[in-house]
Every structure is written in C-alpha cells, then in structure tokens.
Chain A
C-alpha cells in the first residue's frame, strides 16, 4: 500500500543509503525497500528483482510471489510498520505491494566481518587457535562444530529498548541446571538498557553483587566456550562481540587456562601452582612488607633489616607512600602500554622497566627494595590476568590497613577480603565453589587437574537439581 511506503519514506528521510526500487508488474507496483550499506545488493538483484521482472507480465498475488517467484530461503510476511523498520535496519529487504497491506521481508543481510583469527587475549602454545568473531552466526557455527549434539540449544533474544541486538543463550539440554537457565533467562529479560553494544552490558546484568572480581566468565575461544557448555554451564553470545559469556564462573577458574588441558598434566599443575603463588605474592607481599617495615621490626632478620634501613636512608617519603607511588607509576605504564599500538607499547614497557625504576632510585624517590617489590608484585599479578584489576584494588586496601595497624590491620583487611570473596555468588552459586563449600562436588578440576578422562564433565552436584 502506498500509505506504508509514505510512512517508511518519512521515517528514513535524510538517509542517503535508504533505497526504494520500484518494479511495475501487471498486478501493480512492487516496491523493494532496503538500506544499501547493510543489504547485499547482489542477492537482491538475483533473488528478488530478476525473478519478479521475469514474471511481471503475469498476474501475481503476494502468495505466489512468496512461494514461486522469490528464490530466497528465508522470507516472511509482516504487517506493521515497526516490524518493517526493524527488518530494514537489520539489512533485510521489505517488499510493499500496491494491492495489499501485507508486506514481505527477505533475508538480504550483508554484514562486514573479520575472518576467524587467533584470539589475542588467550593465546595457547598447544591446542585450537580459532577465536570467536563479531559475527553471531560465525560464532554459533564454531561452537556447533565442537558440540555436534541435538541437545545443544540456542535461544535467541532481542535485547535493548531503542536499538535491539540479537543475543543467544546456549546450553546443553539435560546438562545445564534448570534453575541456572531460568536465572539467566530472567536476568536477561529484565535488562533495562536502551541498547546492548557489547557483552559487558550482560555481564553487569548477571553480576549478583558489586565486586572487583568478575563473577561472570568470558572467553574468546570457541573450544573453551564449548567445553564450559559441556560441563553444564550456560553460555551467552552477543551479536557484534567476540567474547562469549559463561555462567556460573568460579574463583578457581581464574587460575585455569586453556593451555592446562593441552600440555602434560604434571607441568600444567606446576604452572598452576606458580599462578597461585603469584596471586598470593601480588596480593599480600606489599601489605606484609609495609606491616613489617613500619610496625614489626623484630620479625625481620637483623642483617636484612640493616640493609632495608640503609636502602631507605635518603627516601623522603614514608614507606607506604613510596610503595603506593611506585604502584601508581606501574599502573601508568601498564595503561600506556595497553592504550598505545603494540609496537609502541612494547617500547613503553622497556622504558618503564629500565629507566623509570632506575631513575626513581637514583633520584631518591624510591628505594631499590620498593622497586623490586613493585616489579615482583606486578609480574605476579600478570600471571592471573582475569583478576588483575581486583588484585590491584585489594592490594591497595590491604596496604592501607597494614599502614594503619601493622599486622593486626593486615589480618583485619585480609579477613574482610576473605569475607567478601565468600559472600560473592555467581548466578546463585557460591563464587568460591568448590573451595570453602561443604557440597560434594563432581568437579574434579580444582587446584590441581587430574587426567582429562577423570575430570568430571559436570560441575553441578547431583543433589543440586
């Protein structure tokens, strides 16, 4: 109907890529409406325009065009203007007919996407190297390739009030707990945002409590995503985001990497142990150092104490300020390294490591011990990149407690830290699960991993359902 056409023209006015193609047939005019930048013009020409022109001398009803003329696999009838607008914006072509109010939309989406590449944040020495991309369908195919089971379900949702984005909930039926699935569905349906540009909108929606620790997992690797689904977790993919979300996500998973399952298990466990030690060093070393060097001199061996005192003899700042300052310098360096292009970022790291540390000591801003401590702490924190931010925040909090009250303060701060961790939940499951919980667990991949065949393929307790 011409009314629909006028309405769409009015909605899309001032859009140079908005196109209307008019074909005159014996039955009346047919208007093809699409946005050329997101629609595949080739498909429109071959599968819509050409067949219609070939049949234009015949009397054609909308049913005949839908069934016999257009050669596309996916086309549907629509009746409202709003629906038509959504389809046009998605890259589809809407057909308006002179003689009927019904409209047709044909799937003619053309999306610019990059190829499947090695994920930069989760590189592995051995194992699959494919990474998720920004295209939802490509991601789904990468996952389906790994989980060829009829039980793999993917529920599609459109989220966002102003701009809708397609989101897919993936799970394995029978394996994913219903309670978890309902929780995810409910949380996503209740999301109150105008648009969902990236997965972090959903991550924040799924976080149960505010915390520096992420209680929602994310990965760029389809094999990791698939294996988490296989364990019974629920995954979420967002159109336009190369990170797949998985829930629940536990604290111990921050110490597990895809590489752990691709290399010798003894070496994998050795490296995991190093990661745990790194975490403890990064979190606890600066506050313990401050507590000992400002409150508890008797706990330091005398010769080491003398060395520490000599190293600090010309430093004008108190120890806690010196450490916080050096940690701040390091954060500056890290941020600069991340923001700059990779080649310059590396140069910045070298400048930071070699020059800043050395000159800080020479200029009397920091002692050699402080530089060593901050370097060691930062290096250790990099071993567990997923909780790097949380470590940085909590280390600062513990430093504050240690500075005020020495070791008693440190222990108070550490207990608050532990209480916070144990209070966190991930989609209703304790974040520290299986550490510090009394549940009998199927999960056999805690701190050390066993043989792959011995690792359970479900994380949920049998009584959990």
Chain B
C-alpha cells in the first residue's frame, strides 16, 4: 500500500509537473482591464489597468495601488511581454474582467488579437468584450468615483440588471463561438465617455457591427435597443406613447420581458422570417391622470403599443435589409433548417412577418417581493 501511494504520488508529480506554477498571491500584479488599440503603423498599443501591492514607507503599512501600464508591440503577445519588462512582478491576467477594443482596433480587425486571448492560459474565456469610441488614454485615466478600478466598474456595469437587459455584452467564449456560426456578423456594445455627465463617467451607448471581425458600421443607441428587443437579448425597453385621452401628454410603458419565437421558411427564392413577440408590459408613467380601469383605454393603449412596436421593428429590418447586413442571424437559422441550401446573403431576399401581442399590467401589480 505504502509503495503504491508513493508511486502514485511520484507519477502524478511527474505527469503534472507542468502545473507547478507556484506563485504567492502578493508576488503578482493583477490586471483588471485591458485596452487594445492600434497605432498608425498598425502596431498594437496595449493599456493595462493593474492592481499592485507593496509596503508603504509613508505609513509603514501594506497597501495596494492602481497602476497603468502601456506598451506597444507588433503583436498583442509582444505588447504583453513588453509590459512585463517594466513590471516588478509578472502581470497576471486571471483577474482581468474586461477587454476593450478601441474603434480603431476594431476597424483594423479584432481577429488579429483574438487568438492570444483564446490561447493564453491566464486569460479567461469569461471576460467581457467591449468596443470603445474615443481616446483610450482618456478612458484608462478616467477617475470614476463609483469604483477605483475601471475593470471592476465595467464588470459591475455590464452585469447591472438594466444594462444587461438593454444590451447584449459578449464574453470571449461567446465571440469565439459566434464567429464560426452563420455569416459572422456580430453586434457589440460600444463604450463611451459621457460628456454631459457632471463627473467622469462611462456608459454603453449603441453598438458596433462587426463583419469577419472588423467593425464596419456603428449602430445608434436607439437602434441598438430595437435590435436587442428584436433578437430577444434585451428584454427591457421603453415605449413612449401619446396619452390616450389628453392631447400633448405622454404615457410610458416598460417592456418587462418578451417571449420571442423566430422561424424561417424558404420558398421559391424567397425567405420569410417570422417573429412572434409576446411581451409583458408594465404601465410605468403617465404625464396626466389616466383611468386604467377603463377597458377601452387599456385596449387603445395595447393597440397603439403593438402597432408602434411592429412598425419600428419592420422599419429597422428594412433599414438593414437595404444595407445587406444580416444582423438578424437569418443565415444561421437557414443553415440549421436547410443544411444543403446555399444562399450568399439571404437577408436580401427575406421578408419579415411580425406579430406582436402585448399584455399590459398595472403598475400596482407585485413584480418584486422587496417592494
């Protein structure tokens, strides 16, 4: 038995020797966010926000501080290596929460960098990917009062219930999967520094459309909201309608969640994309008094909400049909249903059939038990 145990331990230690990477927690510098940019020479410019511990001589106590590293390299791997050349301990990416591509890097093509993000053992596949429009130096040096670390702030932001319902934020593994499915068009959230804010702040405003890993177009925030509503990714949406009885006043409805059934049919060189929406809508606000007990008023609101939703979705679809951008994953649905059918850009011959059914709930209905 003893011999078996010793042999077993020795075999494991020999076979798993690659795992021997003992490193004390305080002997590492932890990256929380990476910003990837490219310069005019198409070299990678990498900015890393890191957490570093040290013993302060000022107050004779242990402390941690936020540092920013920047480096350039011909490839992302070289840029990371160059960053480590100036670090007192090795930069560890296991706590990296967000990878941000600048608009310039996204236009150059994020597929140039994705292999390293996938291959490196420290970089986890559950990191979030965001695009950024603006100066990366300004972003990394931003002082956000809600959270000292940009990476941790963005990590919380994308998991915020409201934000996550409005936008679909990709994680690395999702992007790696999706780029091999359908026509490899992705819609990714764009981060922007809020200029009108009283204090430094960032928010996700709109989205970028990427084809084959390259950003080809920007989608405005309103369109991004409609897109997410149509694709079932963002279930929260506001519908602002004119007051049914008082002119010049508005009412606001909040789409709590939508059940979407999508199907695609191919018939004689024509594709029909059918989308059935069943939305649970809460009455959120009225600018003037409204009688919600009146069945006629409720019926009217329901009708207008359904018509407006249908119209907006239809217009949005037509807009991208004209551009020939299959952001609705028609190719993917078609390939699943008709594996042998080969159509180059199916959105060009696709008609959208929408049916919207709204269930309006009163604002007094219990939606959360904490209230």
A-chain residues with CB within 8 Å of residue B16 when the two chains form the complex: 405, 408-409
A-contact 0/1 string along B5-19, CB 8 Å cutoff: 100110011001001
By a beta-carbon cutoff of 8 Å, the part of chain A in contact with chain B is 293-298, 302-303, 305-306, 308-315, 318-319, 401, 403-406, 408-409, 412, 416, 419-420, 423
Given known contacts A296-B94, A306-B53, A310-B53, what 17 new A-B pairs fall within 8 Å (CB)? A295-B21, A297-B95, A298-B124, A302-B155, A312-B24, A312-B62, A313-B54, A313-B55, A313-B62, A401-B9, A404-B22, A406-B21, A412-B8, A416-B8, A416-B9, A420-B5, A423-B1
Known contacts A297-B30, A318-B24; A309 and B51 CB within 8 A of each other: yes
Chain B residue nearest to A406 (CB atoms) is B19
A-chain residues with CB within 8 Å of residue B5 when the two chains form the complex: 416, 419-420
Known contacts A314-B55, A412-B12; A298 and B95 CB within 8 A of each other: yes
A-chain residues with CB within 8 Å of residue B95 when the two chains form the complex: 297-298, 302, 305
Min CB gap A356→B, angstroms: 20
A-chain residues with CB within 8 Å of residue B26 when the two chains form the complex: 308-310, 312-313, 315
What are the 7 closest A-B residue pairs judged by CB atoms, nearest first? Answer: A313-B62, A298-B94, A312-B26, A313-B53, A314-B55, A293-B25, A297-B94
Counted as pairs of residues, one from A and one from B, with CB atoms less than 8 Å apart, the total is 97
- CB distance B97 to A305 under 8 Å? no
Residue B163 lies at the interface, judged by CB distance under 8 Å to chain A? no
Interface residues of B in 272-326 (CB under 8 A from A): none
The A interface, classified by DSSP as helix, strand, loop or mixed, is helix
A-chain residues with CB within 8 Å of residue B24 when the two chains form the complex: 293-294, 312, 318-319
**Please, how many angstroms separate the alpha-carbon atoms of A310 and B25 in the complex?**
9
Which among A294, A302, A315, A420 has the greatest number of chain B C-beta atoms within 10 A?
A302
Q: Which of A297, A310, A319 contacts B92 (CB 8 A)?
A: A297
Min CB gap A30→B, angstroms: 63
A-chain residues with CB within 8 Å of residue B1 when the two chains form the complex: 423
**Please, how many angstroms separate the alpha-carbon atoms of A408 and B15 in the complex?**
11
Min CB gap A288→B, angstroms: 14
Residue contacts A-B, CB under 8 angstroms, 17 given = A294-B22, A294-B25, A297-B92, A302-B30, A303-B152, A305-B25, A305-B95, A309-B30, A310-B63, A313-B64, A318-B22, A405-B16, A405-B19, A408-B12, A408-B19, A412-B12, A420-B5
Residue B28 lies at the interface, judged by CB distance under 8 Å to chain A? yes
Q: Chain B interface residue count: which class?
A: 20 to 34
The B interface, classified by DSSP as helix, strand, loop or mixed, is mixed
A-chain residues with CB within 8 Å of residue B13 when the two chains form the complex: 404-405
By a beta-carbon cutoff of 8 Å, the part of chain B in contact with chain A is 1, 5, 8-9, 12-13, 16, 19-26, 28, 30, 32, 51, 53-55, 62-64, 92, 94-95, 97, 122, 124, 152, 155
**Please, how many angstroms separate the alpha-carbon atoms of A312 and B24 in the complex?**
9
Chain A residue nearest to B21 (CB atoms) is A295
**Please, how many angstroms separate the alpha-carbon atoms of A308 and B27 in the complex?**
12
Chain A residue nearest to B22 (CB atoms) is A294
- CB distance B63 to A313 under 8 Å? yes
Min CB gap B126→A, angstroms: 9
Q: Which of A294, A302, A309, A404 contacts B32 (CB 8 A)?
A: A302
Min CB gap A407→B, angstroms: 9
**Please, how many angstroms separate the alpha-carbon atoms of A423 and B94 in the complex?**
39
B-chain residues with CB within 8 Å of residue A312 when the two chains form the complex: 24-26, 53, 62
**Please, how many angstroms separate the alpha-carbon atoms of A293 and B28 in the complex?**
11
Known contacts A302-B32, A412-B12; A403 and B51 CB within 8 A of each other: no
Known contacts A297-B92, A298-B95; A314 and B22 CB within 8 A of each other: no
**Please, how many angstroms separate the alpha-carbon atoms of A311 and B97 in the complex?**
23
- CB distance A404 to B63 under 8 Å? no
Known contacts A306-B51, A405-B16; A294 and B23 CB within 8 A of each other: yes
- CB distance A311 to B22 under 8 Å? no
Min CB gap A458→B, angstroms: 31
**Please, how many angstroms separate the alpha-carbon atoms of A408 and B12 in the complex?**
9
Chain A residue nearest to B32 (CB atoms) is A302
- CB distance A309 to B19 under 8 Å? no
**Please, how many angstroms separate the alpha-carbon atoms of A126 and B12 in the complex?**
50
- CB distance A403 to B22 under 8 Å? yes
Known contacts A293-B24, A297-B25, A423-B1; A311 and B62 CB within 8 A of each other: yes
Chain A residue nearest to B12 (CB atoms) is A412
Min CB gap A450→B, angstroms: 36
Chain A residue nearest to B8 (CB atoms) is A416
